[in-house]
Amino acid sequence: MRIVPAVDIRGGKCVNLVQGDYDKETVFSDDPFEQAQIWWDELQEGIIHIVDLDGAKSGQCEILPFLERLGKAGIPYEVGGGIRTVDTIDKIISVGAERVIIGTGMIKNPELLQTATSKWEGKIAVAIDAKNGKIALEGWTQETTLSAIEIAQKAQEEGASRVIYTDILSDGMMKGPNFVATQVIAQSLRIPVTMSGGVSSLDDIMQAKLLQPHGVDEIIVGRALYLKKFTIMEAKQILDSE
């Protein structure tokens, strides 16, 4: 199991939101590239999770020059937010993305995921962002009645390499992830699941590790790292232990 540090970008700065609320923003760095470099220097393996918060609202990638800098620096990354066309995916992969995360785009344009997974096999993940088991869209600003499990299974059927599951009510709250919901999603799939939202302590990391047999092999961590609740090295020591 791997820890995946998060770099969320809004207005050119590295930020963190609470439950996806754009009005509840904390700025942690004025230089997202520098922050990504710091995380990568500590991580040294795996991947960095990049979120384009402006793109999630506008529906197009707003951070392409930043992504190009990451690629040139040799920092492996995945990116989500505003990725709703094949052309956008093509541009992002061309500047070095290891994975591209489709969320809203899959719902609004059902053919997008199928086309993307055929063209870039193994590089397309799907974000399942849910509140009380139901999908939220457009940077979490639009709630739906769509079942998170059903959409996750559809993503698997159409060739997604993994699902990134975020429990919105846990995100940014520093009260622990929704382990039960994450396990339910993972057990419904054959592809691996990345858990996201609410990790606040090393105890959470230890509990998350118990989900590995069910198919959860990555944990995205944002606010807890920025607030120095634990370090990447401390988390890795837990995850790497027998």
Which one is catalytic: 129, 167, 171, 204?
129
Dihedral over Cα of 26, 14, 221, 93: its sign: positive
| Active site annotation includes 41 | no
240 burial level (CB within 10 Å; 0-12, 13-18, 19+): exposed
Whether 129 sits among the annotated catalytic residues: the reply is yes
Of 70, 198, 84, the closest CA to residue 130 belongs to: 198
The whole-angstrom separation of Cα 48 and Cα 38 is: 11
Q: How many CB atoms lie within 10 A of CB 108?
A: 12
Q: Which residues are catalytic?
A: 8, 129
